Amino acid sequence: EAEVAQSPRYKITEKSQAVAFWCDPISGHATLYWYRQILGQGPELLVQFQDESVVDDSQLPKDRFSAERLKGVDSTLKIQPAELGDSAMYLCASSTGRRNIQYFGAGTRLSVL
């Protein structure tokens, strides 16, 4: 069964350092999402791609976060510099189109010290 791949699974970093997360969606899925989930809360959408284009990044803290999906396949989310408040699970999801079922990856748990 096809899955959304994410790496790394865990990342520990010190504040002010740069971190990057990678996501490979299910083959053929045009829509890709990055979410942040703080412990005990629901996921919060950070950015949504349709193919290689950003269709929504209204919740992305653009002063420190960036996301790209250059060839419309895999994607990278970067934080620079990381802050203590960025500690969370970062989830990637993909779907065949907007408004369709989203399939989530296992996530990257980030701890900022």
Partner 1 sequence: ELKVEQNPLFLSMQEGKNYTIYCNYSTTSDRLYWYRQDPGKSLESLFVLLSNGAVKQEGRLMASLDTKARLSTLHITAAVHDLSATYFCAVDYLSGTYKYIFGTGTRLKVLA
Chain positions 45 to 64 lying near partner 1, rule: CB under 8 A, are: 45, 48, 55-56, 58
Binding mask 13-42 for partner 1 (x = CB under 8 A): --------------------x------xxx
Q: Report which of 18, 17, 96, 30 is spatially closest to residue 69, judged by C-alpha positions.
A: 30
- Site size for partner 1 (CB under 8 A): 22
CB 96 within 8 A of CB 2: no
Nearest Cα to Cα of residue 113 among 34, 12, 30: 12
112 binds partner 1 (CB under 8 A): no
Q: For strands 65-68 and 75-79, give the pairing.
A: antiparallel
Tell me if 67 sits within 8 A of 57, measured CB to CB.
yes
Among the listed ranges 15-23, 62-70, 77-85, 95-103, the one in contact with partner 1 (CB under 8 A) is 95-103
Q: In the set 1, 27, 71, 99, which binds partner 1 (CB under 8 A)?
A: 99
Indicate the SS3 state at residue 67.
strand
Which residues of this protein are in contact with partner 1, per CB under 8 A? 33, 40-45, 48, 55-56, 58, 91, 93, 98-99, 101-107
